[in-house]
Structure formats: structure tokens, C-alpha cells
Amino acid sequence: MDWTEILRFSRGPLFHFSLVIFIAGMTYRLVRIIFLGWEKDRVKSQGSKLSGVIISYLKGLIILPFIPWVRRTFKNNALTFIAGGLFHLSLFLVLIFGEAHILVWQSLFGVSWAPMPNPIVDWVAAAGIVSLIILLINRLTHPVLRLLTRLPAWINWTMVFLPFVTGYIMYHHLWFPYEVIFSLHLIFVCLLLIWIPFSRMSHFLFYFFSRTIHGARAGKRAVTP
Amino acid sequence: MKTASALNTYLKETGGWVAAQLEACTRCGICAEACHFYQALGNPEYAPVWKLEPLRRAYEQRFTLAGKVKLALGMEKRLTDSDLEHWSQIVYEACTVCDKCAFVCPMGIEIGPLIHKVRTGLAAAGLVPGDLAEATDKQKTIGSPLGVTDEMWRERIDWITDEWEATIPVDKAGAETLMVFTSIELMKFPDNLALIAKILNKAGENWTVSSRGREVVNFGFFEADEELTKLFMHRVFQAAEELGVKRLVISECGHAYEAFRWTAPNIMKVPEGLEIIHITELIHQYWKTGRIKIKEGAFDGETITFHDSCKIQRLGGLIKQPREILQVLAPTSFKEMTPNKEQSMCCGGGGGVISIKEADSNRYKVFEMKLEQLQDIGAQAVCMVCSNCRLQFVDSLAHFNSAVKVHSLAELVARALI
């Protein structure tokens, strides 16, 4: 089997198989959580749950040092916030506005949109890769993170790092023949998709539960989340 | 055996609410920097997320595929009795369930209430630290964690009535408001009891205390034993029903406020139509509606600050009320500590920590940070609305030979009444 064939396999059957696992896995996890049962809250509210939820999401999205109610949180964890925030930003921008990725979205959903200029996406991707390396070093050295981190977390890191770095190499046509690096990029993306439902990377879904719960609870008690 | 009881409790307690939040954790470790015990003592095991470890393991190993696989592959171990004993020290002696961690978590995970659930399992396993268990037992059998018997209670109320010339109606049928105090106030800060009585009388309140429902503190809630939590609140609710009151006023106690106001309706029957409020709200209402008048600037002069109690301010939302009153009492010398309000740092004595002798060194170490915050603004006095915080402040300030004076808000208001 040559690389052209591997490429055809990984962008075709493998990719679709991974998508199915990803969607089925996440659906299973979502449904399971919902059916674990939710107790009814009978406590009288003091403030507005809705406004609490709105502030909770705003806070979750824009943790910036100049916002008074998150300033301290930011200051005490500057590295995690800057590197973590930059990584997520980079991930979304590259995934949604990268020219090549838009083609993938188009093939899946039939819609497309204007890409970001390639040099910008390039810098954003580089920032994402650097952030990941910084986060890895932090995880290797911070005493709390060392205590918390087990094998799955290292796998998580690797699973995210590989698609990022292979995509970057591919864009710059470095070292590998195009078919090889393209295939590797796709294979790593597929591995990531399959891995997500089995790992804490599924937090992208449960984020909406926890932020809503926190916002509603704080709003109910008339405090800023 | 112990592990089995704890595990059963965890499985029983695990609904979507718990599971969704445990699943959301990305293990970023940011919560550690919010925890005053971690900040003061530097032990990574005090990171709030690590305190959830028994609950997480129980949940994953029982409910999730990944957890089962990890268990089968030996990547994770089953909980053992010695694990639980280890975590008993962490969650009872190095956590006040202040819930500040929930306010910094990027995912917004309610870590405090989840730690409460970890405690519930440990309580079921009989792994509550000795001192805390003993005080809880006293509350169960005698009616007060400090061992105040019915007779002692009556004598004490009589003595306070004489000493401060305060009128304290006992078991008055037809009263509108039932006022329930803490044993800490009764035994350690009796003036608080007398001065609150003075405020209520001045406002012309039709109120009473009850000899049956005489303890507002809830050591079952500290332990997180749900049956005891209910039992201790039931005593008060029963008294409220018998006396036919419309309103239950929680004295200066944070945990009790959390238990009565925010927890009771979800775990037990609350007498219909009974309004439950904190004394701070009541005093603020009296002042707003003109039922009491306070002397403006009565405490102006020495720098006074306000300590936010976790359960009353960060989690109870009574943030502006005490401040509005302090602005009147000390318009020029009232100063905020940093951090404050929702972001304030717990005193270190809450959640039952102050009742555990083994936790004393933790408690003092945490208080050093509070002391620095006081010193940073040159505070000469500090005011608060929780007797448990007050006990921690009085004890720790003495420990560090600090001259900062400690007041309750009710005390200041009563002394400034016109």
C-alpha cells in the first residue's frame, strides 16, 4: 500500500468512521448524564437565575485581567489562563477559519464561509502549538498538576498536539512528502475524534452543564458568579 | 466495611447534577490557587479538586466505561478504608466548604457542594474526626454541640436577662417571629444575644425564643450527615409550628443559614408559609423602614472593616445590607479589605474546622493571611455577621497577639440605637 492509498483511506472511510464514533460516543455520554436523574429545586430564589447564568457564561468566555470580578482569579493563575485561553482560541480559529478546514466543513454540511488570511491562521496555529508546550511544561512541574495528572491526561495532550503540529508542518511543506504528512494529519485527527468520548476532552460538552449550574445557583442567591 | 458504606452513599448521591460536574472537570488545577488552605500550607493534596477524589473514583468506577476500563487495567485502584481515612483529614481539617473554588473554576464546577457530598460518604463510613463527631453527638443527645442542657439554657437566658437588662420572651405563643441563637453566642458571646434582643424589642417585634428549638447551629451539616442535619432542623421547625410563628430568624451563624435557608426545602418538610431569614436582613429591614434608628457616625474614628462570611455573603447574597449599615455607622472610617464580597477569603474556622483540635495549626496558618489583609488597610476593628467567624477571629487574633477588635454587626447596631 502506498501513501496515496493511505491518504484516500484516511480522508474517506477512516474519517467517517471516526466521526461516527465521536458523535455516537458523545451522544451516549450526554444521554446517560441526563438520565441519571435531576432533583427538583424547591428553594425560594433571592435573585434572578437567568441573569446569573448570563454572567456565568460571560465570565467563562472572557476571563480577562481588566474585568474586576475575575481579576484576582486571573492574577493567581496567569499562566494557565493565558496559555489555556490562547490554545482554545487558536483551536477554534484554525478549525473554523482555516482555508483547508472550511473545505472539510463544506463537504460535511454543504456551507462555507470566508476564510481568514493564511498568514494570520499560520501565526494563530503557531501560538496554539507554543501554548500547548507551555501547558505541558506547567503540567510537568506544578505540584498540584503532577498530583492530578494520570496517564489519560498525558494521552489527551499528545492527541491534541499531534494534529496541531502535523497540520503546521503540512502547511509549510516541511520535511515530509505531501501525501505522507497529510495522511498523518488525518490519522491523528481521527484518533483524536475517537479518543474524545473516552476522555476528559469531552469537557466541551459538560462545560455547558457546569457553567449553567453555577450561574443559576449564584443568580438564585443574588451573588455574582 | 467502611468503604462499602461510603461507596453506597456516593452512588446514592450521584445524580445528573453530580455526574455532569465531575465530567466537566479538566484537571487544570486553577481551584488550588483559590483555596486558602492550599495557599497557606502549600500541600498539593489541599487542592479543592483533589478533595473530590473519592467521589470521582466512586462515580467513574461504577458508572463510566472509561472508569471500568481503567480499573480493569489496574490504572486506578478501588477505594480502601485507609484511603478514606486519609481523605477524612483532607476534607474535614483542611476545608471549610467556603466554596470560593467554585467561583474561580473556569468550568464553574460547584466544588463546595461536591465536597459536602464527599463528607457525606465519610460520615456514613464513620470517619468524622473525633472532636467533630463528639460535638455532633452532644447536639444529638443533649441538644447543643457545646453540651448546654435544657436547664443550663434556661439559667443562661435568665442570667443574660438580668445582666444586660434585656427582655427575652421564652416560648411565647402567638409570637410572629421565632429567633434562634447559637450555642456559641449563648456561651461565648452572651452580649450578642442580649443586644439582638434589644434591637428586636426596640423595633417593637412580637418575638420569642423557644426552649425546644433553641439551637440553630447544625453539626450534622458540618459532618454532612443528612439524617442528623434534618433532625437538628426538625427540632427548630417543630418549635416554629407549635408556637405558630410566621418567621424564623437565623442568628449570626453561616452554616445554619445555609442549612435552613438554602438546603432545608430540598431535603425535608418546611412548615408551610414559614419565612426564613438571617438576622442581618431583619436588622437591615428595620433600619430601612425606620423601625429602628441608628446614630450616624457612631463608630467613626478608628478604621473598621467588614469580614464577609462564606455562607452569608458569598453564598447567601447578603452583601450590600451590612455595608449600607456600616456606611452609616462609620461613614469615613469604614474600609474594605481586599479581596472582599464574593471573592473574600474565608476566616479558616468554618465548616466545623474550628471544633477539631488537630486542625488548629491549619486554622492559624490560614488566619495569617486574613491578618495580613487586616494589616494592609490598617484595620483597628473588624465587623462580621457570623459567630463562628467571630470565634475564629477572637481566638486567632489572641494567638497572634493582635490588638484588632472584633465586633458583630448586631452588637454595633445595638450600641448605636437611638
- H or E, element range at B207: strand B207-208
List the single residue in A72, A84, A207 with the smallest CB-CB distance to B28. Answer: A84
A49 in reach of chain B (CB within 8 A): no
Mean pLDDT of the region B290-314: 93
Give the distance, in angstroms, between the CA of residue B281 and the centroid of all CA atoms in the same chain. Answer: 16
Cβ distance of B75 and A210 shorter than 8 Å = no
The answer, yes or no, to whether ipTM is higher than 0.85 is yes
Contacts of B65 in chain A (CB under 8 A): 198
Question: What are the pLDDT digits (tens) for B181-205?
Answer: 999 999 999 999 999 999 999 999 9
Contacts of A56 in chain B (CB under 8 A): 108
Cβ distance of A147 and B50 shorter than 8 Å = yes
**pLDDT for residue A64 is more than 80:** no
Question: What are the pLDDT digits (tens) for A132-145?
Answer: 999 999 999 999 99
List the single residue in A32, A44, A148 with the smallest CB-CB distance to B50. Answer: A148
Query: Quick one: which of B299, B364, B368, B311 has its CA closest to B335?
Result: B299
**pLDDT for residue A78 is more than 90:** no
Distances in Å between the alpha carbon of B288 and those of B190, B296, B312, B322?
Answer: 27, 14, 20, 12
Residue partners of A29: CB distance under 8 A and separation at least 6:
A197, A202, A205, B23
Cβ distance of B27 and A200 shorter than 8 Å = yes
Query: Which residue in the block uniquely carries the three cell numbers 450555642?
Result: B183
pLDDT, greater one: A179 or B330 = B330
List the single residue in A34, A206, A223 with the smallest CB-CB distance to B24. Answer: A206
**Contacting A residues, span 145-174, partner chain B, CB-CB under 8 Å:** 145-153
Cβ distance of B106 and A84 shorter than 8 Å = yes
* pLDDT band (50, 70, 90) for residue A80: confident
Residue partners of A16: CB distance under 8 A and separation at least 6:
none
CA nearest to B277 within chain A = A46
* pLDDT band (50, 70, 90) for residue A34: confident
Distances in Å between the alpha carbon of B207 and those of A39, A66, B210?
Answer: 35, 48, 10
Q: Where are the alpha helices (DSSP H) in chain A?
A: 3-9, 15-35, 49-61, 71-76, 78-97, 99-109, 118-141, 143-148, 151-171, 178-195, 203-220
**pLDDT for residue A70 is more than 70:** no
Question: What are the pLDDT digits (tens) for B223-279?
Answer: 999 999 999 999 999 999 999 999 999 999 999 999 999 999 999 999 999 999 999
Contacts of A206 in chain B (CB under 8 A): 20-21, 23-24, 107
Per-residue pLDDT at A154: 92
Angle at B81 between CA B69 and CA A148, to 5 degrees: 50
In this prediction the pTM is 0.91
Q: What DSSP character marks residue B247?
A: E
Angle at A151 between CA A169 and CA B45, to 5 degrees: 125
**Contacting A residues, span 56-85, partner chain B, CB-CB under 8 Å:** 56, 59-60, 63, 69, 72-73, 76-77, 80-81, 84
Question: What are the pLDDT digits (tens) for B37-90?
Answer: 999 999 999 999 999 999 988 888 888 887 888 888 877 788 888 888 999 999
Under 8 Å between Cβ of B123 and B147: no
Q: Which of A71-75, A109-113, A131-135, B22-26 has maximum average pLDDT?
A: A131-135
List the single residue in A35, A41, A148 with the smallest CB-CB distance to B29. Answer: A148
Which residue ranges form the domains of chain B, and what is each CATH number? 2-127 (1.10.1060), 138-288 (3.40.50), 304-415 (3.40.50)
Cβ distance of B29 and A80 shorter than 8 Å = yes
Paired with B248 in beta bridges are B178, B276
Mean pLDDT of the region B294-298: 92
Sign of CA dihedral B185, B191, B193, B195: negative
Sheet holding B207-208, edge to edge: B207-208, B177-180, B247-250, B275-278
Q: What DSSP character marks residue B209?
A: B
* pLDDT band (50, 70, 90) for residue B131: very high
What are the DSSP calls for B164-203, one per residue?
TT----BS-TT-SEEEE--HHHHHT-HHHHHHHHHHHHHT
Per-residue pLDDT at A5: 83
* pLDDT band (50, 70, 90) for residue A9: confident
Q: Determine phi and psi for B170, rounding to 5 degrees.
A: -110, 130
How far the first Cα of chain A sits from its last, in Å, is 56
Distances in Å between the alpha carbon of A117 and those of A125, A173, B125, B275?
Answer: 12, 18, 61, 61
Quote the mean pLDDT of chain A: 88
Give the distance, in angstroms, between the CA of residue B198 and the centroid of all CA atoms in the same chain. Answer: 25
